[in-house]
Structures are given as C-alpha cells and as structure tokens.
Chains A and B, each alone.
Chain A
C-alpha cells in the first residue's frame, strides 16, 4: 500500500552513521563552520533514512518520536525547533534542494523529502518504460505504482503525488502526456 505519511516500518535494519552515536550531533553547534557540517550530516541522514524506509513525506510530529530524530540508546533527541531547522536547511539551495515544505510556511508540519528528486524519478520511470518497450502505450498511473509489472522496480509503491510531480517534469519536456479524469489518470510516454 502506498504510504503517504511517514509509516516508520523497519523492514530491514537501517544502519545509522557513526555521528548518530555522537551526543553533540543532537545539539545545535555555535561555530558557523561546524554548524554547516552538522546540518549537512543531518541532511544526509534524513535522506538515507527516508530512502531506506521509502518515506516520501515526512510528518515532523511522527519523525520526532521515531529513531530518526530520537536516539533512545543515547537518550538524545532533536527538538522540534532544531528538526525544523534541519528541514529548512534541506529546502535551501545550500542543502541541495532535498526537501520541500508542504502547506503554508507558517505550519511547517510536513515536508517532501527528495532523497530522489522528481526529475531523477522521471529518469527511472522513463528508463523502465523504454526498457519494456512501452513507449507509445497508454498506462494508468495506478498500474505504474501498484501494478504487478512494476513490483521489482524502485518506484513501486511510490506516493501518487510524487509520481504526478515527476511525470510533470516529463510533460514539460514533451516526453510524456498525462490525461484522463481525476483519480483515473493515464500517461503516454513518447
């Protein structure tokens, strides 16, 4: 089932990086240079964690309770304020645009985590369609993410929103066309 929110099912063990066991990692560093390095490390951790658990949308409230921001062994955790700062960093250019806040900026309750950007997903999708000789065939969005044919693929079970976004990049380039009624969309790759 496609997970829209952050269902933190640990399918296989996620190996945390060594900094995760380093207590200062959870406290915002005063020194600018160290701070920058710290944020960058957090960004990588968030990305790999989400990639492992196939989380596309991060719900902050849930994340704060999860092993991602809460190291129970170390008894250290990231505060809501600091977590937001991490995601803010990830949304910036410096953070490589690896996150996107959802909803009004005042809320900052959930965010897209682009451990793979929509354009990058578009490339994966395109490669699969090309490899299976399905260029020029009509495919439903549903079968792309839920169909039997894509079970072995990375994008299987992907969030529908993310799929739409990545297809959108292809439409802009003229490499695909999305059509059909709401909730019943189809796509044709060229």
Chain B
C-alpha cells in the first residue's frame, strides 16, 4: 500500500510533543518503580520490628526516606515537563485560531470589495430612500385618481340610464301628473336620500344628496315644481363637474 494521501502528515511539532510525552511517561514509570521499592522497604521495616530487630528496621526506613526524596525530585521535573508540553499544545491551538482569523478577515475584505465599497453602499441607500418616499407620495395620487374615476362612473350611472329624449318624456309626464293632483307638495327633509360614497381604504369620503323624489305632486304650485326640477338639473350638472 502506498502513501495514504487522505491522512494528514505528522508534523515536526507532533514529533517534538511525542518526545516530551515519552519523557513524561518514563518519569512516571520511574515513579512507579520507586513506589514499589518504598512499599517494600516499609514492609521490611515492619517485619524487622516484629522480629525485634530495631536496627534493621531503621535501615529500611532510611532507604525508604531516600527513595522518597528521589520521588519528590522527579515530581518537580514532571511538573515542569508537563507545563512545557501544555504550552506547546496551546501554542499550536492559538496558531490555528490566528490563521482562521486571518482567513476570515480576508474573505470579509473581498466581499466588501465586491459590494463596491462604502461609498457605493451609501449612494445606494440614499437612492433607495428617495424611491421609497416617491412611492408613498404617488400612492396618494393614485388613490385620488381612482376615487375621481369612481365618482364619474356613479354620476354616469345615475344620469346615463336614460337618454335625453327619455328624460324629456319623463318630465312631461311629471307635469301632467302635477296638474291632476291638488295636494301640497311636502318639503323634502334633509334626512332623506343621502348617498354616502365610501373609499374602500379610507372610509367615508363624501356625502352626496341625491335628487329627491317628490312624495306627492302639487297642481297649484307649478313655480315650486319648476324650482325643484331646476334644482335637480343643477345637481346633475354639479355631479358631472
């Protein structure tokens, strides 16, 4: 099997760390050996005491003491070694982080460049704000336009139902009927016949008085009737305006 390209290589730094860790392991093994010895010396001392051999017991304890001092020395060496190993590992991590930051910053700069720089962005923001304000203003204008159009349609509907000739015929018939009846015409009250125009979005915009239909016809007041008719016509004209 040849070299596995997918596996990352072991760096020189890795080997350095391995060396340090191997030394740490050696120290630990040494410590284990020493501990075995000290334990043994302790048990020897106990045996000697049990036999009553104080001198030998003392010797064993002295040896144990000496071994323990070696143990203490290796402890401090071990600590130093472990500190160094940790520092190296930490430095490697920091190196990676720094590299990542550098990469990120470069990408960010590139993106800013693509956006056209700060001036371009500010200009665009300004233009966008302008466009938005214009849109709002024209919105109102469009609404008013629509409303006016609708007004036109209503008046057309009201008036355009009948042609001019029809209109005259109706008015002639009205005259005839007037002459037939004798009852006084009632004055139309303000309360009747309101047409309210709604704007879909804004609610009531205008209130129009429809031309009132006379409730009864007076034969003895043609003048009044004429006035009524003229008033109705005037209103129609007003609507058309």
Contact = CB atoms under 8 A, between A and B. Distances in A.
Interface of A: 137-140, 142-143, 146, 174, 177, 179-180, 184, 186, 188, 190
Interface in B26-42: 28-29
Interface in B6-48: 6-8, 10, 14-15, 17-18, 21-22, 25, 28-29
B52 to A, nearest CB: 35
Size class of the contact patch on chain B: 10 to 19
A190 B8 contact: yes
Contact of A180 (B15, B29, B89): B15
B6 A179 contact: no
> Which of B14, B18, B29 has its CB near the most chain A CB atoms (within 10 A)?
B18
Contacts of A142: 22, 25, 29
B10 A188 contact: yes
8 contacts: A140-B18, A140-B21, A140-B25, A143-B21, A146-B28, A179-B15, A188-B10, A188-B14
Contacts, number: 40
B4 interface: yes
Interface string B36-69: 0000000000000000000000000000000000
Given A140-B25, A142-B25, A143-B25, A190 B18 contact: no
Nearest to A190: B8
Contacts of A177: 7-8, 10
B21 A139 contact: yes
A137 B15 CA distance: 11
10 residue pairs, one from A and one from B, having the closest CB atoms = A186-B18, A138-B17, A142-B25, A184-B22, A174-B7, A140-B21, A174-B6, A179-B10, A138-B18, A180-B18
